[in-house]
Protein backbone atom coordinates (compact mmCIF):
# COMPACT_ATOMS: atom_id res chain seq x y z
CA UNK A 1 0.00 0.00 0.00
CA UNK A 2 2.69 2.49 1.01
CA UNK A 3 4.46 2.37 -2.32
CA UNK A 4 1.17 3.00 -4.04
CA UNK A 5 0.48 5.92 -1.76
CA UNK A 6 3.60 7.68 -2.96
CA UNK A 7 2.78 7.11 -6.59
CA UNK A 8 2.04 10.23 -8.59
CA UNK A 9 -1.49 10.31 -10.02
CA UNK A 10 -1.48 13.79 -11.49
CA UNK A 11 1.56 15.62 -12.81
CA UNK A 12 1.05 19.08 -14.27
CA UNK A 13 4.13 20.60 -15.94
CA UNK A 14 4.32 24.23 -17.00
CA UNK A 15 0.67 24.29 -18.07
CA UNK A 16 -0.67 27.42 -19.72
CA UNK A 17 -4.20 27.93 -20.92
CA UNK A 18 -5.01 30.83 -23.18
CA UNK A 19 -8.56 31.61 -24.31
CA UNK A 20 -9.31 33.74 -27.29
CA UNK A 21 -12.21 36.01 -26.30
CA UNK A 22 -12.88 37.93 -29.50
CA UNK A 23 -9.67 39.82 -30.16
CA UNK A 24 -8.48 39.58 -26.56
CA UNK A 25 -6.30 36.74 -25.28
CA UNK A 26 -7.20 35.65 -21.79
CA UNK A 27 -4.40 33.91 -19.91
CA UNK A 28 -6.34 31.70 -17.55
CA UNK A 29 -3.29 29.67 -16.51
CA UNK A 30 0.19 31.12 -16.85
CA UNK A 31 2.44 28.18 -16.05
CA UNK A 32 1.32 25.69 -13.45
CA UNK A 33 3.53 22.95 -12.02
CA UNK A 34 2.19 20.52 -9.48
CA UNK A 35 1.93 16.86 -8.76
CA UNK A 36 -0.55 14.97 -6.66
CA UNK A 37 0.13 11.57 -5.15
CA UNK A 38 -2.28 8.70 -4.92
CA UNK A 39 -4.52 8.95 -1.86
CA UNK A 40 -3.99 12.67 -1.31
CA UNK A 41 -6.81 15.04 -0.38
CA UNK A 42 -5.96 18.40 -1.94
CA UNK A 43 -7.82 21.72 -1.98
CA UNK A 44 -7.32 24.25 -4.75
CA UNK A 45 -8.23 27.73 -3.55
CA UNK A 46 -8.27 31.18 -4.94
CA UNK A 47 -10.52 34.11 -5.82
CA UNK A 48 -12.97 33.99 -8.73
CA UNK A 49 -11.23 34.08 -12.10
CA UNK A 50 -7.91 32.82 -10.72
CA UNK A 51 -8.06 29.81 -13.03
CA UNK A 52 -8.94 27.12 -10.51
CA UNK A 53 -11.86 25.76 -12.53
CA UNK A 54 -9.75 25.80 -15.69
CA UNK A 55 -7.05 23.85 -13.86
CA UNK A 56 -9.62 21.36 -12.67
CA UNK A 57 -11.00 20.92 -16.20
CA UNK A 58 -7.51 20.33 -17.54
CA UNK A 59 -6.63 17.79 -14.83
CA UNK A 60 -9.98 16.09 -15.52
CA UNK A 61 -9.32 15.88 -19.27
CA UNK A 62 -12.33 18.01 -20.12
CA UNK A 63 -10.02 20.64 -21.57
CA UNK A 64 -6.51 20.64 -23.01
CA UNK A 65 -3.67 22.96 -22.05
CA UNK A 66 -2.44 25.48 -24.62
CA UNK A 67 1.13 24.74 -23.52
CA UNK A 68 2.73 22.27 -21.17
CA UNK A 69 1.87 18.70 -20.27
CA UNK A 70 -0.52 16.88 -18.03
CA UNK A 71 0.14 13.30 -17.00
CA UNK A 72 -2.66 11.28 -15.51
CA UNK A 73 -1.55 7.90 -14.19
CA UNK A 74 1.72 8.51 -16.07
CA UNK A 75 -0.13 8.95 -19.39
CA UNK A 76 0.52 12.19 -21.27
CA UNK A 77 -2.96 13.35 -22.22
CA UNK A 78 -1.56 15.60 -24.97
CA UNK A 79 -1.01 12.56 -27.09
CA UNK A 80 -4.59 11.37 -26.85
CA UNK A 81 -7.47 12.12 -29.19
CA UNK A 82 -10.91 13.25 -28.05
CA UNK A 83 -12.27 9.73 -27.81
CA UNK A 84 -9.40 8.56 -25.65
CA UNK A 85 -9.90 11.58 -23.39
CA UNK A 86 -13.57 10.62 -23.09
CA UNK A 87 -12.46 7.15 -22.07
CA UNK A 88 -10.10 8.58 -19.43
CA UNK A 89 -12.88 10.81 -18.06
CA UNK A 90 -15.06 7.74 -17.94
CA UNK A 91 -12.63 5.37 -16.25
CA UNK A 92 -10.08 7.46 -14.34
CA UNK A 93 -11.86 10.67 -13.38
CA UNK A 94 -14.98 11.33 -11.36
CA UNK A 95 -16.46 14.82 -11.46
CA UNK A 96 -18.56 16.38 -8.72
CA UNK A 97 -20.04 19.77 -9.60
CA UNK A 98 -21.40 22.67 -7.61
CA UNK A 99 -24.78 22.35 -9.34
CA UNK A 100 -24.74 18.52 -9.09
CA UNK A 101 -25.36 18.18 -12.85
CA UNK A 102 -27.65 15.19 -12.57
CA UNK A 103 -29.92 14.42 -15.51
CA UNK A 104 -33.34 15.55 -14.29
CA UNK A 105 -35.35 12.93 -16.19
CA UNK A 106 -33.46 9.98 -14.77
CA UNK A 107 -33.86 8.70 -11.22
CA UNK A 108 -30.97 8.33 -8.79
CA UNK A 109 -29.93 4.83 -9.77
CA UNK A 110 -30.14 5.64 -13.49
CA UNK A 111 -27.98 8.71 -12.98
CA UNK A 112 -25.35 6.64 -11.20
CA UNK A 113 -25.51 4.08 -14.01
CA UNK A 114 -24.62 6.59 -16.74
CA UNK A 115 -20.80 6.25 -16.55
CA UNK A 116 -21.27 2.48 -16.48
CA UNK A 117 -23.33 2.65 -19.70
CA UNK A 118 -20.52 4.53 -21.42
CA UNK A 119 -18.05 1.99 -20.01
CA UNK A 120 -20.06 -0.66 -21.87
CA UNK A 121 -21.30 -2.54 -18.80
CA UNK A 122 -24.40 -4.68 -19.14
CA UNK A 123 -27.67 -3.81 -17.44
CA UNK A 124 -27.49 -6.22 -14.49
CA UNK A 125 -23.89 -5.41 -13.72
CA UNK A 126 -24.43 -1.67 -13.73
CA UNK A 127 -27.68 -1.77 -11.77
CA UNK A 128 -25.93 -3.81 -9.09
CA UNK A 129 -22.93 -1.47 -8.97
CA UNK A 130 -25.13 1.66 -8.89
CA UNK A 131 -27.20 0.22 -6.03
CA UNK A 132 -24.03 -0.60 -4.12
CA UNK A 133 -22.66 2.93 -4.56
CA UNK A 134 -25.94 4.56 -3.52
CA UNK A 135 -25.85 2.42 -0.40
CA UNK A 136 -22.33 3.64 0.36
CA UNK A 137 -23.41 7.30 0.09
CA UNK A 138 -26.45 6.57 2.28
CA UNK A 139 -29.22 6.76 -0.31
CA UNK A 140 -30.31 3.13 -0.34
CA UNK A 141 -33.91 4.16 0.26
CA UNK A 142 -33.96 6.87 -2.44
CA UNK A 143 -32.79 4.93 -5.48
CA UNK A 144 -35.86 5.49 -7.62
CA UNK A 145 -36.26 9.17 -6.78
CA UNK A 146 -35.77 11.78 -9.46
CA UNK A 147 -33.36 14.67 -8.69
CA UNK A 148 -36.37 16.99 -8.24
CA UNK A 149 -37.52 14.74 -5.37
CA UNK A 150 -34.17 14.89 -3.63
CA UNK A 151 -32.68 17.60 -1.39
CA UNK A 152 -29.48 19.37 -2.42
CA UNK A 153 -27.39 17.22 -0.09
CA UNK A 154 -28.99 14.05 -1.40
CA UNK A 155 -28.48 15.16 -5.00
CA UNK A 156 -24.81 15.76 -4.32
CA UNK A 157 -24.54 12.28 -2.80
CA UNK A 158 -26.01 10.84 -6.01
CA UNK A 159 -23.43 12.86 -7.95
CA UNK A 160 -20.65 11.47 -5.76
CA UNK A 161 -21.93 7.93 -6.27
CA UNK A 162 -21.93 8.62 -10.01
CA UNK A 163 -18.32 9.94 -9.79
CA UNK A 164 -17.28 6.71 -8.08
CA UNK A 165 -19.01 4.42 -10.59
CA UNK A 166 -15.96 3.25 -12.55
CA UNK A 167 -13.50 3.24 -9.58
CA UNK A 168 -11.65 6.35 -10.80
CA UNK A 169 -8.07 7.30 -9.97
CA UNK A 170 -9.17 10.75 -8.82
CA UNK A 171 -12.31 12.59 -7.82
CA UNK A 172 -12.46 16.23 -8.89
CA UNK A 173 -14.99 18.33 -7.02
CA UNK A 174 -15.71 21.90 -8.10
CA UNK A 175 -17.25 23.83 -5.18
CA UNK A 176 -19.15 20.71 -4.10
CA UNK A 177 -20.76 22.45 -1.14
CA UNK A 178 -21.37 25.78 -2.85
CA UNK A 179 -25.08 25.17 -3.34
CA UNK A 180 -25.67 23.45 0.00
CA UNK A 181 -26.66 24.66 3.45
CA UNK A 182 -23.90 24.32 6.00
CA UNK A 183 -25.23 21.11 7.55
CA UNK A 184 -25.50 19.31 4.21
CA UNK A 185 -22.13 20.76 3.25
CA UNK A 186 -20.56 19.28 6.37
CA UNK A 187 -22.12 15.91 5.61
CA UNK A 188 -20.68 15.99 2.09
CA UNK A 189 -17.22 16.87 3.42
CA UNK A 190 -17.55 14.08 5.95
CA UNK A 191 -18.41 11.67 3.09
CA UNK A 192 -15.39 12.89 1.12
CA UNK A 193 -13.12 12.29 4.10
CA UNK A 194 -14.47 8.76 4.48
CA UNK A 195 -13.85 8.07 0.80
CA UNK A 196 -10.34 9.51 1.10
CA UNK A 197 -9.67 7.21 4.05
CA UNK A 198 -10.53 4.30 1.74
CA UNK A 199 -7.70 5.49 -0.52
CA UNK A 200 -9.49 7.66 -3.07
CA UNK A 201 -7.50 10.62 -4.37
CA UNK A 202 -9.52 13.80 -3.96
CA UNK A 203 -9.12 17.29 -5.40
CA UNK A 204 -11.58 19.92 -4.21
CA UNK A 205 -11.84 23.35 -5.74
CA UNK A 206 -13.25 25.79 -3.20
CA UNK A 207 -12.98 29.30 -1.85
CA UNK A 208 -14.19 28.26 1.58
CA UNK A 209 -11.31 28.09 4.11
CA UNK A 210 -13.39 25.90 6.41
CA UNK A 211 -13.86 23.26 3.71
CA UNK A 212 -10.22 23.47 2.68
CA UNK A 213 -9.11 22.93 6.29
CA UNK A 214 -10.40 19.35 6.07
CA UNK A 215 -7.93 18.52 3.31
CA UNK A 216 -4.27 17.59 3.72
CA UNK A 217 -2.83 20.16 1.36
CA UNK A 218 -3.94 23.53 0.00
CA UNK A 219 -2.82 24.91 -3.34
CA UNK A 220 -3.55 28.62 -3.74
CA UNK A 221 -3.91 30.18 -7.16
CA UNK A 222 -3.90 33.79 -8.17
CA UNK A 223 -4.06 35.19 -11.70
CA UNK A 224 -3.24 31.82 -13.21
CA UNK A 225 -0.21 31.06 -11.07
CA UNK A 226 0.35 29.00 -7.92
CA UNK A 227 1.12 31.40 -5.10
CA UNK A 228 1.21 28.85 -2.29
CA UNK A 229 1.28 25.05 -1.97
CA UNK A 230 1.42 23.88 1.61
CA UNK A 231 0.16 21.12 3.87
CA UNK A 232 -2.68 21.83 6.28
CA UNK A 233 -1.52 22.06 9.87
Partner 1 sequence: MINLVDPLKIASNSIVANRTRSFLTMLGVIIGVAAVITLVSMGEGAKSYILSQVGSWGVGSNSITVQPGQENSHTIELNLTYEDAQALRQKVGNLQYLMTEFIGRGRVNYGQKEYKPGYTLGVSADYPYAYKQKAIEGRFFSTAEDAGRKRVTVIGKTVARNIFGEFSPIGENIKINGTGFKVIGLLEEKGSLLTFDMDDMVLIPSTLSELVLRTNKIWEMFITVYDEKQVPEAIKEIKNILTTRHRKEDFHIHTQQGIIDIVNNILNAMTGIVSAIAAISLLVGGIGIMNIMLVAVTERTREIGIRKAIGAKQRDIFLQFVAESILITMSGAVIGIIIGTLAATGIMFALKLQAVIAWGAVYLACLVAFLVGTFFGVYPAMRAARLDPVEALRFEV
Contact status, residue 111 vs residue 103, Cβ threshold 8 Å: yes
Of 42, 38, 71, 41, the closest CA to residue 169 belongs to 38
Residue 86 interacting with partner 1 (CB under 8 A): yes
Residue 18 interacting with partner 1 (CB under 8 A): no
Question: CB-wise, 63 or 175, nearer to partner 1?
Answer: 63
Positions 35 through 74 that interact with partner 1 (CB under 8 A): 57, 60, 62-63
**Alpha helix ranges (H) inside the chain:** 2-5, 52-59, 82-91, 108-118, 123-136, 152-164, 182-197, 209-212
Residue 95 interacting with partner 1 (CB under 8 A): yes
Residue 75 interacting with partner 1 (CB under 8 A): no
Dmax (CA) for the chain in angstroms is 53
Residue 175 interacting with partner 1 (CB under 8 A): no
Question: CB-wise, 52 or 57, nearer to partner 1?
Answer: 57
What phi and psi values does residue 51 have, to the nearest 5 degrees? 105, 10
Residue 222 interacting with partner 1 (CB under 8 A): no
Residue 22 interacting with partner 1 (CB under 8 A): no
Number of residues that bind partner 1 (CB under 8 A): 27
* Nearest approach, Cβ of residue 115 and partner 1 (Å): 5
Residue 124 interacting with partner 1 (CB under 8 A): no
Name residue 38's beta-bridge partners: none
Residue 154 interacting with partner 1 (CB under 8 A): no
User: What percentage of the chain's residues is helix, strand, coil (to nearest 5)?
Assistant: 40, 30, 30
Q: Half-sphere exposure of 172 toward its Cβ, with a 13 Å CA cutoff?
A: 21
Which position among 11, 38, 52, 89 is part of the footprint of partner 1 (CB under 8 A)?
A: 89
Residue 26 interacting with partner 1 (CB under 8 A): no
What phi and psi values does residue 100 have, to the nearest 5 degrees? 65, -45
Query: Strand, coil or helix: what is 216?
Result: coil
C-alpha separations of 167 from 130, 132, 133 in Å: 12, 12, 10
Name residue 19's beta-bridge partners: 26
Which position among 38, 52, 142, 162 is part of the footprint of partner 1 (CB under 8 A)?
A: 162
Residue 34 interacting with partner 1 (CB under 8 A): no
Region binding partner 1 by CB under 8 A among candidate stretches 99-107, 201-209, 212-220, 224-232: 99-107
Residues that bind partner 1 (CB under 8 A): 57, 60, 62-63, 82-83, 86-87, 89-91, 95, 97, 101-103, 105-106, 114-115, 117-120, 162, 165-166
Amino acid sequence: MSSELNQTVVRVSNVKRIYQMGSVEVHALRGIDLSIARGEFVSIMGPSGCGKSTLMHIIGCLDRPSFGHVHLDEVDIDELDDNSLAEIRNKKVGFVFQTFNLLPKLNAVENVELPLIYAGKGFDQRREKAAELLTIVGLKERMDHKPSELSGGQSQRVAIARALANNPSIILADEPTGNLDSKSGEEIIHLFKELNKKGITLIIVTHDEEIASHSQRIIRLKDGLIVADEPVK
